[in-house]
Chains A and B, each alone.
Chain A
């Protein structure tokens, strides 16, 4: 049987060690293989692509362009191929990000990235917070509703269509913590740092979606 190929993008935005380890554990003994993407790639060779990201939106976009990952990734996503974006890897799916300056995103899921506004909030939103499931899905089943995941971010996905939101989280206000359009997923938290429920989600994404 031909193995399915999972691509893990190293966008030089935070380390990929934890997610790499998690994927390897999940696919052990199963018909999958993992390839790390560090430069230009043939998107048609991949069945799934995971992009973890930390730090700034503009930095990740410019790293992906510099590494020649941006174009094949955009084509892959425009073809509605399976993708999981983590933290900034989710945020860059939007039309644009407003950090120090405005940066154009991949434009796959309508919306934009803005800073948490309230002056009273401790920023970054750092630590464990629960998700409220809006819609059950193959990656996120009812038993993960109300469970805690590890967040660390100062920006949130806004002006998103309700139909693209699978789960919300509350910090000062409600914001989308899991989003989906077609075969493309994004999670604002770090499932690879979120103990058993986080691993559960990655497992569902790889084996069930």
Chain B
């Protein structure tokens, strides 16, 4: 039976994992390579890392960090943040990423999804979608939620699937960073409209939140703070889910 994936997410600047609310009060949580190694050993099913400050200068160090992480883990690695075109995708795959996640570049230029999946295969192209409610409609947002686009969330999700995305990383900007749980209604809406895997992101604060995330039919559950702060170990989340009847890799 296919297992629900528990995926720690590293927000990275250069080679440090950081935490900050809306890019303010950025706090260093640890060394990215060390944290990646730790998560791989302690039962993470996959690892996600995002370059949250993809400036030209920081980028070189970030790519070196991707290479260093790929060398110390033996689980799949998804890398995103600052991916603007095909060359960036090739660079990250060459650095050792198994999957690359594209966000605003895909919103700006949806054809990039098709080009990337034709070149590298759908299985390694993840489209990250940030969603937010606006005037009673679910919309696609960019720039960390500060800019609301004209795109309807569900139409966009279906479109990225038909363009060849292998997976959707779905973050609700209404719940992200608040630790009150995943955005169940938004996630259910997405999973019931696409047939590719969906990773739920944004809002985990308790063990029950992971279970509620699973109920949305998302096959991957992503979290950052609860793991980085040491509040939960990956194993304890999995044991909790197993007791709830969810199939996990222990």
**A residues apposed to B, CB below 8 Å:** 13-15, 17-18, 21-22, 54-56, 59, 119, 121-130, 148, 150, 152-154, 170-171, 190, 192-196, 198-199
Contact = CB atoms under 8 A, between A and B. Distances in A.
Interface string B129-164: 000000000000000000000000000000000000
B189 interface: no
11 contacts: A13-B121, A17-B96, A21-B71, A122-B219, A126-B219, A127-B3, A127-B219, A128-B249, A148-B3, A171-B2, A192-B74
Contact of B74 (A55, A153, A194): A194
Given A14-B120, A15-B93, A198-B74, 18 more contacts: A15-B96, A18-B74, A54-B121, A55-B121, A55-B122, A55-B124, A124-B167, A126-B197, A127-B45, A127-B219, A127-B220, A128-B5, A129-B1, A152-B76, A154-B123, A192-B74, A194-B74, A196-B74
Interface residues of B, number: 29
A193 B177 CA distance: 30
Contact of B166 (A124, A129, A130): A124
Q: Which 5 A-B pairs have the closest CB atoms?
A: A55-B121, A128-B3, A148-B249, A128-B249, A152-B123
B121 A195 contact: no
Given A55-B120, A55-B123, A56-B121, A195 B40 contact: yes
Contact of A127 (B2, B120, B122): B2
Contact of A124 (B1, B40, B74, B122): B122
B197 to A, nearest CB: 5
A193 B96 CA distance: 12
Contact of A54 (B3, B71, B74, B123): B123
A121 B195 CA distance: 7
B70 interface: yes
Contacts of A59: 121
A51 to B, nearest CB: 16
B196 A193 contact: no
B75 interface: yes
Nearest to B167: A126
A163 to B, nearest CB: 26
Contacts of B123: 54-55, 124, 126, 152-154
A148 B247 CA distance: 11
B174 interface: no
Contacts of B94: 15
A193 B75 contact: yes
B121 A122 contact: no
B147 to A, nearest CB: 30
Contacts of A15: 93-94, 96, 98
A90 B193 CA distance: 32
Nearest to B40: A195
Contacts of A170: 1
A127 B5 contact: yes
A196 B5 CA distance: 17
